[in-house]
A and B are shown apart, each in its own frame.
Chain A
Amino acid sequence: MMKRLFIANRGEIALRILQTANRLGLVTILGVSEADRGSLPAQIADEMVVIGPATSAESYLSVERVVAAAKAARADAVHPGYGFLSENATFAESVTAAGIIFVGPDVSSLDSMGDKLMARKVGVAAGLPVVPGGESADKAAARAQAEITGYPLLLKAVSGGGGRGMKRVDRAAALDGQVDMAMAEAQAAFGDSRIYVERYISKGRHIEVQILGDGETTLHLGTRDCSIQRRFQKLVEEAPAFGIPEQKHNALRNAAVRLAQFLHYRGAGTVEFLVDSETFDFYFIEMNARIQVEHPVTEAVTDLDLIEQQLLIADGQKVSLTQERVEFSGHAIEARINAEDWEQGFRPSPGRVRAARWPAGPGIRVDTHIENGGVISPFYDSLIGKLIVSGRDRAEAVARLGSALATLEIEGIATTAGLQRRIVEDPRFIHGDVDTRFFEGLGRG
């Protein structure tokens, strides 16, 4: 039985994991960087260990330091959260080798989904449709591949993630320059310059399926629509994905389950698809072998605690649910609030939060690590909190999001709350007419 849980993350997700772990009676140990010693999660955890300096590379991203800290703290399990080391196979292996449970899938699943090209191959092997495209080792290969896929197309980093390292190319003339840039960026960001070419689906929706598996049983916990993005970074997420013919919706969920079964997947995972918003044909993109930022919308419509499910499965228990017993009700929407000045080119806005007044009330959930006087560090990403609203149907959730955003007030730093207000007032959003180009059409000024 798991007793001492080491949390290898920071910010709102560290707090989120702490809350479930506390409820389950686990002793919690939080590994923090020097910059996060005074953070809210650090105050809540039963024990706190400083793993290194503020720079992520020497703290949250250091396999050696995190594993050493977990060992020293006599942890019997490590939860990696999202980002940082959550999908790092070397980390999962080192944790396991130290006799500690890694709260995540088997290393074989991390390997299979580790790079996007590998994920494509596995997806094809599992019988899933993929977006036309392929690897391009150099400009000549990219040109040849572009001939086949056509324009516009996307260049993606093989080792990329979270939207980083992606470039859209609209014309053949721009291809060479963009290939150079994409390869340079991929090398700088991921230490791997390999890229591949993919057809760009112009009217597409980003729809994903939440999966839960114990290696034998696999279930889905429904779909999420995450089409509203800026530069491939998600801004708004909803559950369930709406306005999809039932037959296609079923096919989508079944495809995700098929992939997870193919992998004998253990834990919580997300299978991402690009869905043509006119024909509803869908293409497998990748699988994220970890908890996602947007997991609360799924929790809101299923009444399940996904962190609890992760911990139970990691502890060797079988999934006690059956697909029939997963009940879906209502609609939920999450709006990410980032410390960015969206009116000044999304310039980062770190600093001290004088006051953080979040909305409160029935149907409102706030996941944040920022208290009054809290510090948004310049060292980490800009997510300061997530506002999650739910309603009986999408219209009620949209209305609730609008009124909740109206009361939200963060003083001391610039945030994207104003952008979210603009989104919730957009007629396209209100009517559910969204695709991945929604942001480009958002009224400015």
Chain B
Amino acid sequence: MSRDLIFTSEDVAEIVAILDKTPYARLEVRTRRFVLRVIRSGDGWTQEIESIGDSAATESLAPSSAVVAEEAGRSAVRAPLPGTFYRAPQPGARPFVEVGDRVQPDTVIGIIETMKLMTAMPAHCSGIIDEIIVQDATLVEVDAVLMRVKLE
């Protein structure tokens, strides 16, 4: 089995020890699948690793970021973080808000779960929930429009 490992810290330290005695500022080492770059930075050195070709992590973070145009009289409630959007405090519970509900700037309209942390999401405006765009337990990108509020 042919292996293409990434470099260990000892490997990189050895490369730097050699480079440090030369005038070179940058070295690139290519293996079949990776490129290691060792670059002079001030008095020290940095290292970076990159995959070659399409094996890099190319998948998108989340699928449901619908960009919807702003309309007069309606305000969009957007996700402040990427993560999982929940409409209710726990599974099976009543959603925080439904279409037709009146909200204040500090009314909680949902929760975003990111990296094991739950962040409550306020409406940030006053009005009536006009449209719910993202459903419960959906993965959203940052700035995804979650709901629309008819301003009052």
Contacts and interface: CB of A to CB of B under 8 A. Distances in A.
Given A348-B117, A362-B13, 5 more contacts: A38-B56, A40-B6, A40-B57, A46-B3, A358-B48
Contact of A378 (B48, B55, B56, B84): B84
Given A38-B58, A348-B81, A407-B41, A364 B48 contact: no
B51 A371 contact: yes
Contacts of A356: 48-49
A40 B49 contact: yes
Contacts of B22: none
B3 to A, nearest CB: 7
A360 interface: yes
B30 to A, nearest CB: 14
Contacts of A44: 5-6
Interface residues of B, number: 46
A129 interface: no
21 contacts: A38-B59, A46-B1, A46-B3, A339-B115, A348-B81, A350-B81, A355-B48, A360-B13, A360-B38, A360-B46, A361-B12, A361-B17, A362-B17, A364-B13, A365-B9, A366-B12, A371-B57, A372-B49, A373-B58, A388-B9, A409-B41
A346 B113 CA distance: 14
B70 interface: no
Interface in B1-18: 1, 3, 5-6, 8-9, 12-13, 15-17
Nearest to A373: B56
Interface string B38-63: 11011111111111000111110110
Interface of B: 1, 3, 5-6, 8-9, 12-13, 15-17, 20, 33-34, 38-39, 41-51, 55-59, 61-62, 81-84, 113-117, 119, 139, 142
Interface of A: 15, 19, 22, 27, 35, 37-40, 43-44, 46, 54, 339, 347-348, 350-352, 355-367, 371-375, 377-382, 388, 403-404, 406-409
A302 to B, nearest CB: 15
A372 to B, nearest CB: 4
Contact of B115 (A15, A43, A350, A375): A350
